[in-house]
Amino acid sequence: MAEHLDTNQPTIQEEWYSKGETYAQGINEMVAFGEKNGWDNWQGPDPKDEREHLAAEVLARLKQANLDNEVASFRSDFPPAHQPIISFLEKQAQSVEQLHFVSGQKIVFLTGRSYQNRQAYSLEDDQVVKLDEHIKAIGKSQQGDVFALAAHGKVTTCRGWKGEVIAEFTLNKTADLGITELIPFNDGKRFLLVSSEGIYLVSGGEEKLLHPLNDDNEEDWSPDIDMENAALSNDNRYIAVGDQCYDHRILDAAGNTLGTIGPQSSYPHFCLFSKDDRQLITNSCHFYNGVTIGVESELFDGVAIEGYTESEDYTTIDEGMRVYAGLSTKDYYILGDAYGYIRAINRGGEKIWEYFLGSTISGMTISEDERTLWVGSTSGMLHKLTLGKGHRDTHTIGSGQHYEEFRLLIWKDEPQIWRW
């Protein structure tokens, strides 16, 4: 007897789409309610994304769509999601970081953490090109279009991407350090080298340890640190440094301490100057959450903010995020957190929008006109967003009216990079 087929069963596409739409709508409604009425007043169940059983088939179809050059139609049928593919991320994800805008629709970036073998790439429109495998870090100045590349035990600064060489620095005591961040000065003649074994100011012939400092002259002391972070003001007048065990410090351009900013959560974790340099924000974290405060530039010289203490010397910017990456625009900060959200927040602490991408945000860069945003995460994904263009589909989580042009899956043990 022939098997009777149940024609009422939804197809994989129908199930993926309908459940994803319901989940996104539920999350957006819950977040809107919590922010308006307080999270303690939320009485409903937390929305659940129940599509994990579809993930393997959907990813297989995604790869075939890439091979057949049919990604646009595939994405229309299968809008991307984070939660259903977590089991794949746990095995194949890698950090996408050190993103830097070049020009037009072109950026450069790295995969891998400071202690791993890294690979550098360029991305122009949707075309990815693998760069020299010896590149260990890429940095870009706040102004002046200066790039810095670390490779072969040297750091080279250039005017523009692959442009005229400004200077070459042969590294000595920092030669073997994994570079968390490389930040060249606007003239290309100095740079900050951020590592888990100290934060250094490097110039011709000198590698000066800025942080941490052995103030007590302990014999067995070493500069090993965790959650190392630093920022350079846009005009290069000020440097900010911090790590898990030491308060954030504000330094002058020569590395002399001007002031200190204690954490308002547990551990100093991130810092960033506003685009006009009128404010420095510092983030401290506890597990996946954190507190970000802002200090105005006129207070930098001599400021001494105590940890866990309310003060008129700072503005509370945010009281939820553990910030991993961020940038400054002319109107606000865009900060990425441990939960996979990016949020725009102004200097007064007013949230402008939020947008969910998934997994810890590990890097971002923005076009010169501030219309295109690229965001990397520890999921091994690189997202390209057109800001203010409106949502692409009903699966978008967040209040930010942004259009995701695509996301790249840059996963380990894959034959190529997949576009979704």
Q: Which residues neighbour 185 within 8 Å (Cβ) at sequence distance 6 or greater?
A: 141, 146, 191, 232, 236
Q: Which residues neighbour 199 within 8 Å (Cβ) at sequence distance 6 or greater?
A: 192, 193, 209, 210, 211, 225, 228, 230, 241, 243
Phi and psi at residue 153, to the nearest 5°: 75, 10
What mean pLDDT comes out for the span 340-360?
98
Q: Where in the sequence is the domain holding 413, given as residue range(s)?
A: 54-105+357-420
pLDDT of 78 higher than 70: yes
384 within some domain:
yes
- Contact criterion met (CB below 8 Å) for 351 and 312: no
Q: What mean pLDDT is reported for the chain?
A: 96
What mean pLDDT comes out for the span 296-322?
98
82 within some domain:
yes
Quick one: pLDDT band at residue 415, thresholds 50, 70, 90?
very high
Percent of the chain with pLDDT over 70: 98
pLDDT of 3 higher than 50: no
402 within some domain:
yes
CA 330 – CA 326 distance, rounded (Å): 14
101 within some domain:
yes
pLDDT of 355 higher than 90: yes
Quick one: pLDDT band at residue 219, thresholds 50, 70, 90?
confident
- Contact criterion met (CB below 8 Å) for 27 and 402: no
CA 80 – CA 374 distance, rounded (Å): 16
404 within some domain:
yes
Strands 323-328 and 403-409: unpaired
pLDDT single digits (tens) 19-77 = 999 999 999 999 999 999 998 899 989 999 999 999 999 999 999 999 999 999 999 99
Q: What is the pLDDT of residue 215?
A: 86
pLDDT of 317 higher than 70: yes
Task: Output the pTM of the full model.
Answer: 0.96
Q: Indicate the DSSP class of residue 29.
A: H
How far, CA to CA in Å, does 1 sit from each of 4, 192, 208? 9, 75, 83
20 within some domain:
no
Q: Tally the domains of the chain.
A: 1
Phi and psi at residue 113, to the nearest 5°: -85, 175
1 within some domain:
no
pLDDT single digits (tens) 246-303 = 999 999 999 999 999 999 999 999 999 999 999 999 999 999 999 999 999 999 999 9
78 within some domain:
yes
Q: What is the pLDDT of residue 414?
A: 97
Quick one: pLDDT band at residue 6, thresholds 50, 70, 90?
low
